[in-house]
Structure 1
Amino acid sequence: MGLALAVTATLVLVIVTLYYKKWKKQNPNLPLVDAFFESHYLLQIKRYSYSDMKKVTNSFKNKLGQGGFGSVYKGQLQDGRHVAVKILSEFNGDGQEFINEVASMSRTSHVNIVSLLGFCFEGYKRALVYEFMSNGSLEKLIYEDNAVIGDRQLDCQTLYDIAIGVARGLEYLHKGCNTRILHFDIKPHNILLDENFCPKISDFGLAKVCTRKESMVSIFGARGTAGYIAPEVFSRSFGVVSHKSDVYSYGMMVLEMVGRRKNIKLEVDASSEIYFPRWIYNQLVSNQELDLQNIRNECDNEMVRKMTIVSLWCIQTNPSTRPSISKVVEMLEGREELLQLPPKPYWFSPSTSP
């Protein structure tokens, strides 16, 4: 009897050990991730259980959107605050992007950065709890079929204010934090708008945290979204990766705001791929009117020309030619007639590059 129990216990131990080794091999980073979230500087952000997430979202009843990362649901905390809960897809990588987002956003506090209120990490069940942004993403608002939001027209002044707000948010990430944070995925989809159309930068999954003294950073491979990736991020032959890489993405985004259309058509040939930036640059060089649907008066024309000139400076191929984001804010807030036209950019896009 005792021998049978000993043999059974040994078999159970062997099975458990083998199962753990297999789990450990498949999930090498999970214990490390857990330890990371227990570190002292993250205690200010609340950690929720997955059952808490179900309660907050009323069992995931109100879905706000979905992407490759998972789904976003509207929820309400016990204190009455409305929140957006991002539930990441199961088996979504090794947790590095999740760590990036929590680590980056736990260090930020700015009117133009979306606030992270909490997170959930239970094995493969991962969630992020953000402040709720009632007007959704900028992406949904800047294209032709979304020109009106409720009873408000998305006019030039609103777009101009959004452009400055995003620039100030980036300036804070680059210069205002104790550490410098490079976002690496600035695009309309990642700019959220509150009830007053105040823009807030979100989605820090690809962010890189570095010291403020670092003028260049090391990353492996390209990161970002086609059409917004700076040339040097895609190929180091264009220059070093730095805070100027975010400036490029910002410039491409603002050009889309100006034109209320995508800058790039992926289905056309490379010779005409980036059509709007080329067209609008030629209009400025020949001093022609910018015949855009946003422009209704001389004030609108001045704001659009200012945004356009600044954007074209931002998308210069050589990173050293681009302005810093602080300079971008200064240029946007200054007078349009004082801005000089930049050199014609070499039109680059990783979507058709070898």
Structure 2
Amino acid sequence: KLLNKKKWWKTPRYIAAICVLSGIFATAAIITIYVKINEKKREQREEEERDLRAYMDPLDSRPPSVENFLHGGIPTRYSYRQIKRYTNNFADRLGQGGFGTVYKGKLPNECLAAFKILDKSKHSRDQFISEVATLGRIHHLHLVRLLGYCFEGSKRALVYEYMVNGSLEKYIYGDDHFALDWKQLYSIAVGTARGIAYLHDECRSRILHCDIKPHNILLDANFSPKVADFGLAKLTDREETHVSLTGARGTPGYVAPEVWSKIYGPVSDRSDVYGYGMLLMEMVGGRKNFDMRATRSSKFFYPEWAFKQVETGQFGRLRKGNLSDEEDKNMAKKLCLVGLWCIQFSPSQRPSMSRVIQMLQGSAEITIPPQPFNVETSMLTT
């Protein structure tokens, strides 16, 4: 009997009681963890909404509500699971960008869309929020439309209208660059200028794109251009003549000198003008502005070589084998002259984007600009 009393803990009743208590504790632990996870997710959503509100306030005079943004600003918030479904588990890859991979997909309304899945190691949280907030409120014929986004912690995606002809880049550098005639190139130049001018002059807050380049100009079915990729965009008050940047931003080769160093002047909307000018020069030359494979050192930097052709009036040489027609030559001449004005070393010597439009459309005279690459002369004439 004494032995049996010592083994009371092995009785079925005791074992059953232990199992019940363990189950209760395990259930309580699971519920606690579940509540904590949901609470953390809720806090994360609230923080995301606060961040979106902070970016949205300068763009809208209505009460700062994310509900206004979500329901009145067009873009829809999708879950990552939905993004996977709409892209058929990322089956159709369109290309790889600096900050992520773009896939083709279809939304529930049967509209084709481009899904940009962001690389969290390269695309910061602030860049993502900046792009969503910027494109969430602005609408223009020559700005790509943001249809939706996904924001689930480290999983982030942007959903754009699908541009069937891709980026301008492939039509400038690749084998397709002769597929665009000079009228199309000229129309693309004017449309792009209108999109940038809208950002600078017509939004409630002035918006600096900060990364104007051929890769960020998308073409629709009619080859109408749309400015894209606002991850580096900077919002400023309209009264401010210049902005402060925490560091250099943009793509080397298209970044204005003042972005790299304050000694060349303040960062302003004229910094976007510089990028646009470098874009025009590549459109005219049908090549990258910097060519390490150039057979002659004079052609290594195309804008400098092009300026020499302008000085001597040899506009027919601006692009190899594609300027025999007089009308084409005249359009190339205009694009080149405007481009050279836009890439003046001193920001104060560059035209505004609205002035650029006037120059391209013929309502403003286009004179031969000063030598853009003589730093001393440029700074003295400022």
Which TM-score bucket, shorter chain as reference?
0.7 to 0.9
Offset of residue 40 of structure 1: 3.9
Structure 1, unmatched stretches of 5+, are: 349-354
- The structure 2 residue matched to 1:334, chosen from 357, 362, 365, is 362
Structure 2, unmatched stretches of 5+, are: 1-17, 53-64, 376-382
- The structure 1 residue matched to 2:234, chosen from 208, 222, 225, is 208
Q: Distance in 2 between matches of 1:297 and 1:220?
A: 48
Offset of residue 241 of structure 1: 0.4
The residue type equivalent to 2:100 in the other structure is G
Q: Are the aligned partners of 1:206 and 1:224 in contact in 2 as well (CA < 8 Å)?
A: yes
Q: Are the aligned partners of 2:232 and 2:249 in contact in 1 as well (CA < 8 Å)?
A: yes
Offset of residue 227 of structure 1: 0.3
Query: Mapping of 1:223-302 within 5 angstroms?
Result: 223-265=249-291, 275-291=301-317, 292=319, 293-302=321-330
Change (3 A) 1:329 1:29: farther
The residue type equivalent to 1:53 in the other structure is I
Query: Mapping of 1:4-43 within 5 angstroms?
Result: 32-37=47-52, 39-43=66-70
Q: Distance in 2 between matches of 1:267 and 1:35?
A: 50
- The structure 1 residue matched to 2:372, chosen from 318, 321, 345, is 345
Q: 1:352 corresponds to which residue?
A: none
Paired residues in the alignment total 327
Q: Distance in 1 between matches of 2:170 and 2:281?
A: 16
Under a length normalisation based on structure 1, what TM-score does the superposition of the two structures give? 0.85
Aligned with 1:142: secondary structure? helix
Aligned with 2:169: secondary structure? helix
Taking only the aligned residue pairs, the percentage that are identical comes to 49
Q: Distance in 2 between matches of 1:117 and 1:164?
A: 25
Q: Distance in 2 between matches of 1:324 and 1:47?
A: 36
Aligned with 2:166: secondary structure? coil
Q: Are the aligned partners of 1:107 and 1:177 in contact in 2 as well (CA < 8 Å)?
A: no
Q: Are the aligned partners of 2:77 and 2:150 in contact in 1 as well (CA < 8 Å)?
A: yes
Larger Rg: 2
Q: 1:100 corresponds to which residue?
A: 130
Q: 1:351 corresponds to which residue?
A: none
The residue type equivalent to 1:183 in the other structure is H
- The structure 2 residue matched to 1:82, chosen from 98, 112, 136, is 112
Under a length normalisation based on structure 2, what TM-score does the superposition of the two structures give? 0.79
Q: Are the aligned partners of 2:209 and 2:233 in contact in 1 as well (CA < 8 Å)?
A: yes
Q: Are the aligned partners of 2:304 and 2:373 in contact in 1 as well (CA < 8 Å)?
A: no
> Which structure is higher in helix share?
2
Aligned with 2:77: secondary structure? strand
Residue-by-residue CA offset, 1:79-118 (whole Å, 9 max, x unaligned)? 1111101011244454011011111111210000000011
Residues 159-168 or 213-222, more deviating: 213-222
The residue type equivalent to 2:158 in the other structure is L
Q: Distance in 2 between matches of 1:102 and 1:34?
A: 12
Aligned with 2:186: secondary structure? helix
Change (3 A) 1:196 1:94: closer
Offset of residue 346 of structure 1: 1.9
The residue type equivalent to 1:59 in the other structure is N
Q: Distance in 2 between matches of 1:347 and 1:190?
A: 29
Q: What value does the CA root-mean-square deviation take over the aligned residues?
A: 2.8
